[in-house]
Copies of this chain bind each other. A is one copy, B any other.
Amino acid sequence: MPHPARDTVTLHDVAAAAGVSLATASRVLGASSRTVAPEFRERVLAAAERLRYTADASARAMRRVSDSLALVADDVTTPSMAIVVSAMERAASTTGAFVTVSATHGDPGRQLETIRRVRALRPRALVLTSGRVEAGALSGRLLAELRAYEHDGGRVVIVGDTDLPFHSVGFDNHGAASRLGRYVAESGHRRVVIVAGARGQAAAAARTAGFVEGLRAGGVAEPAVRIVHCPVSREGGYEVAHRLAAEGLRGTDAVLAVNDLLAVGALRAFREAGVAVPDGVSLTGFDDVGLAVNVTPRLTTVALPLAYAGAEAIRLALGEPGAVTHVTVEGRLVVRDSTRERVAAAG
């Protein structure tokens, strides 16, 4: 068998069935600028329908620009990724494009390898959403790989904060975290623990720094805030809160998690330990994933316009070529039931 996907109906078959040349059939079925006589057009369309013809995307990609958009993410199971995937898919489908997803599982080695693999698709654009790699680590072979891809005519869009010379749509993590920190300080909290997630993750680091700055601006000085690192998962948050509760809280009156998942994990630990939220301790998340509102108490958090960011990423990916643009979208503080005002008990 010369070809694995044999006996597929090809443009050649359609042309033959319609009694026209290959070129004419192509002009009718592909989006050509050349005009074709109504009679021929009819015949071709009819034949294509009858034969259930579908143009081979691979063959087509060899002559015109590719129809694929690639998403490379650390982990595709996270709710925020789902939203970005969905936004990409929606945009792609209206353009007749395809979305491919690849996961790197946060491993920089796999990340490089993944991008190299994805580059084979010659996607029109490569959307990279990685929180796990600092700009510094990116600058090596990964950067070279991205450059090579760009040189091939593709476009790179990074979702997340970056100072790399590629289009990007970032979140104002620092600013939003700072506002949240300030709010917590000003509502009377005096001793806080930051659940900071994994080390070396840019977004988490920015949020942590924002928390610290906001707290200080609100009058909560450094020694009263403790930063604890942990895996970025429900379990990670659970662990931290569990230990904290076991230690007896030691005056901690607010716990600021670097994302909602961590906060939800922490919430469970507190509940199991008999620590009331927000009466015993206030708790906040970040991201405002759907879950934040369905948990008891509903989480005070920062809403990130994820769908908007995803759409914006696609806009950059598909838009006219132009100067590298960094778009920053703002987070919005959402105060719910997991925090409360405290009377300032002099420390």
Find out whether the CB atom of B101 lies under 8 angstroms from the CB atom of A101.
yes
- Tell me the chain A residues, 50-66 only, with Cβ under 8 Å from chain B: 52, 54-66
Q: Does A153 contact B (CB under 8 A)?
A: yes
Of all chain B residues, the one with the shortest Cβ separation from A291 is: B291
CA–CA, A4 and B264, complex, Å:
48
The smallest beta-carbon distance between A72 and chain B, in angstroms, is 11
Residues of B within 8 A of A78 (CB): 82
Stretch at the interface among A34-42, A114-122, A167-175: A114-122
Most buried by B among A6, A59, A102, A121: A121
Per assembly, the copies of the chain total 2
Please tell me which one of the listed residues B3, B58, B83, B99 contacts residue A58 in the complex, with CB atoms under 8 A apart. Answer: B58
Question: How far is it, in angstroms, between the C-alpha of A65 and the C-alpha of B3 when the chains are bound?
Answer: 8
- A148 on interface, CB distance cutoff 8 Å: yes
Highest count of chain B CB atoms <10 Å: which of A7, A79, A265? A79
CB distance from A51 to the nearest CB of B (A): 9
Given A99-B102, A145-B52, A291-B294, answer yes or no on A76-B86 (Cβ-Cβ < 8 Å). Answer: yes
Contact with B along A81-113 (1 / 0, CB 8 A): 111011001100100101111110000000000
Contacts of A117 in B (CB 8 A): 93, 96, 98
Q: Is the CB of B7 within 8 A of A151?
A: yes
Residue in contact with A82 in the complex, picked from B77, B152, B294, CB distance below 8 Å: B77
A296 at the A/B interface (Cβ < 8 Å)? Answer: yes
Within 8 Å by CB of A101, from B75, B96, B99, lies: B99
Q: Establish whether residues A76 and B89, one from each chain, have CB atoms under 8 Å apart when the complex forms.
A: yes
A231 CB to closest chain B CB (Å) equals 15
Contact of A5 among B83, B93, B100, B122 (CB under 8 A): B122
Residues of A within 8 A of B (CB): 3-8, 52, 54-66, 68, 75-79, 81-83, 85-86, 89-90, 93, 96, 98-103, 114, 116-122, 144-145, 148, 151-154, 234, 264-265, 267-268, 271, 290-291, 293-296
Q: List 18 A-B contacts (CB under 8 A).
A: A5-B152, A5-B154, A7-B151, A8-B153, A56-B122, A58-B58, A59-B62, A77-B79, A85-B101, A89-B103, A98-B118, A99-B102, A100-B101, A101-B101, A264-B294, A265-B294, A271-B296, A291-B291
